[in-house]
Structure 1
Amino acid sequence: MAYPASLIAFAFVKKGIDEGKFVTQMKLQKLVYFAQGYHLAKYHEPLINETFQAWMYGPVIPEIYQDFKLYGSRPITDTAEVTPSASYKPPFRLDDRALESINYTWGVLKDFSAMSLSHWTHQPNGPWSKVYNPDAKSTPIHNDEIQHYFEKLLIKA
């Protein structure tokens, strides 16, 4: 089952707050991207409903950007000011597969910086690098490209 990206983002923000490992907007985008890639590779279905776009600093879901832009580049230390996008209408309950993808991604990436994750998304022949065009902010990164890339990563791991 696919979920609104804002819900998955909120789960990562909550993990960061609960563990004192606060995420920034950039890191949040990358966590959701890696969770999507892991989920696509392992379960052959998307974790989120929305399509990533190739922006300058990597894959972005515009709804997540809108939800958390008030933090700028600062760590997200609370959610009092967050107004989830229209696509996120609580209550949602995440299934076991979604929770596993979120927990796996968090466990592997929580100690990486946002810039490290951004560099990772910029690897040659990766889904972002194949479609990024500096003159076109909203170029989609298709799930089949993300899935194929992450299947290769998981096989290596």
Structure 2
Amino acid sequence: MPSYDARAIANEFIRRNGPHINQMKLQKLVYIAHGWNLAINKAPLIAEKIEAWDGGPVVRKIWNHLRDYGRNASDGLLADPFDSSTPYKAKLSDDEVAIIEHVWKKYGDYSGIELSEMTHEPGTPWSNAYFGGGRNTSLSQDDIQQHFIELALAGRDKAA
């Protein structure tokens, strides 16, 4: 499975939420979808590194795009800055769409701050990177994958 431009995955959540989703929430949903895809489909969802910023996991490419261009498509999506009629889009597999739907259903009602608090818990990939390597350190893909596998196993134990 390919890794996609993070802005295309961000657009998946903008389509579900509408254009008024704030950057913090958008960043966390992309990170969470990436984590669940690593755990379930055993492949990265996005091509970019995820960094440990003060506010939690951040994909710099999304942050920079919103800072420099905003939501430059007419429907509030992130689009090519040189052709705003072309929003970033990923040709997702059915398994990848299922991950995005799962993340939206499970986490879509949380605010950006609530999602950020979830990522700041001790032992999370963000806290391991932030306190182990410092601000803006990249989160380890292996750490992200293991964290979401543990979340899946904990959820399975609760259901049993």
Contact 2:80 2:88 (8 Å CA) reproduced? no
Q: Looking at CA atoms only, which structure, 1 or 2, has the larger radius of gyration?
A: 2
- TM-score, with structure 1 as normaliser: 0.83
CA contact (8 A) 1:127 1:149 kept: yes
**8 Å CA contact retained: 1:6, 1:64:** yes
C-alpha RMSD over aligned residues: 2.8
User: Corresponding residue for 1:59?
Assistant: 57
Query: 1:6 — aligned with what?
Result: 7
**Partner residue of 1:153?**
151
| CA shift for structure 1 position 104 | 0.6
2:114 aligned counterpart, secondary structure:
helix
Provide closer, same or farther for how the CA distance between residues 91 and 123 of structure 1 changes in structure 2, counting only shifts above 3 A.
Answer: closer
Extract unaligned runs of 5+ from structure 2: 156-160
Residue in structure 2 matched with residue 79 of structure 1 by the alignment: 76
Provide closer, same or farther for how the CA distance between residues 96 and 53 of structure 1 changes in structure 2, counting only shifts above 3 A. Answer: same
Percent identity between the two aligned chains: 36
Name the count of aligned residue pairs. 148
What SS class does the counterpart of residue 141 from structure 1 fall into?
Answer: coil
Among residues 35, 50, 57, which one is paired with 2:48 in the alignment? 50
Note closer, same or farther for the CA distance 1:85–1:47 as it changes in structure 2 (3 Å cut).
farther
- The one-letter amino acid of 1:24's match is N
Kept in 1: contact 2:49–2:59 (CA 8 A): yes
Secondary structure at 2:7's aligned position in 1? helix
Structure-2 separation of matches of 1:130 and 1:54: 9
CA deviation map 1:80-116 (0-9, x unaligned): 6x44479x98564211122111111001011111111
* 1:71-150 matches, cutoff 5 A: 78-79=75-76, 82-84=78-80, 92-133=90-131, 136-150=134-148
| Structure-2 change in CA distance of 1:71 and 1:28 (3 Å) | farther
Q: TM-score, with normalisation over the residues of structure 2?
A: 0.81
Q: Structure 1 stretches (4+) deviating beyond 6 angstroms? A: none
Structure having greater relative contact order (Cα 8 Å, sep ≥ 6): 1
Whichever residue aligns with residue 100 of structure 1, its letter is A
